[in-house]
Amino acid sequence: MNEPESSPKKRDRDDEKKRQEQTRRQFRFGISYLIASLTALWLFQVFVVAPQTRGTEIPYSEFKKKLADAQIVKVTIGERGIVGEMKNPLPNSRRSSSF
């Protein structure tokens, strides 16, 4: 009639297993949250920030023509191309352009 009580050692082991499982779940949630946050930040940078910082590309011949007409204010020559600023850029473009 009397049900035997669980031994204290068994209860301690069960409590320890529950704590370990809870710790694992918290760790997994933290890692998942970190990955989701980094992915969201990357997508924001790719689709929102990057298009705002890019200028318009123009052909090199047009660059030479604008340079001769003194419409180029500043030029930076890099490994991947030439980047410059024009005095009066096109109305729908940025001030900076790649040539």
Query: pLDDT digit string (tens) for 12-49?
Result: 888 999 999 999 999 999 999 999 999 999 999 988 88
What are the sequence ranges of the domains in the chain?
Answer: 1-53, 56-98
**How far apart are alpha carbons 61 and 99 in whole angstroms?**
9
Residue 98, pLDDT above cutoff 60: no
3-state SS assignment for residue 8: helix
Q: What is the pTM of this model?
A: 0.50
**How far apart are alpha carbons 19 and 21 in whole angstroms?**
5
Strand order across the beta sheet in which 56-57 lies? 56-57, 96-98, 82-86, 72-77
